[in-house]
Amino acid sequence: MSLFALFFGLMSGCFLSVLVGIVGSKRRIGFGWAFLASLFLTPLVGLLLALISDPLPVGTDRGLGCIGTLFGVLGLLFLVAFLFLLLAGGMLVAM
């Protein structure tokens, strides 16, 4: 398996986790928990958890909704940094 296929698979999984987090932001589970569930389990399980949770009542505003988005973006940045370091270390070993 090539490194490009591995990188594409991990990035597509992270992208799907963000989409599940967006679905969860309109429900009681929230963006952060839906994102974490889909990142650590699978995006399908995270989506099921988000859809099982109750929807927010109409007109309800989540006071700290930006924290979930910030958490998701920081999580993706740390994951990309980790993958870069992992691949850079693998390149050093291969030399």
Strand partners, 27: 55
**What's the confidence (pLDDT) of residue 92?**
59
Q: Which residue has the tokens 């030399």?
A: 95
Looking at the predicted structure, is the pLDDT value of residue 52 above 80? Answer: yes
Looking at the predicted structure, is the pLDDT value of residue 29 above 80? Answer: yes
Number of domains in the chain: 1
The model scores a pTM over 0.75: no
Looking at the predicted structure, is the pLDDT value of residue 14 above 60? Answer: yes
Confidence category of residue 16, pLDDT binned at 50, 70, 90: confident
**What's the confidence (pLDDT) of residue 61?**
61
Beta strands in the chain (DSSP E): none
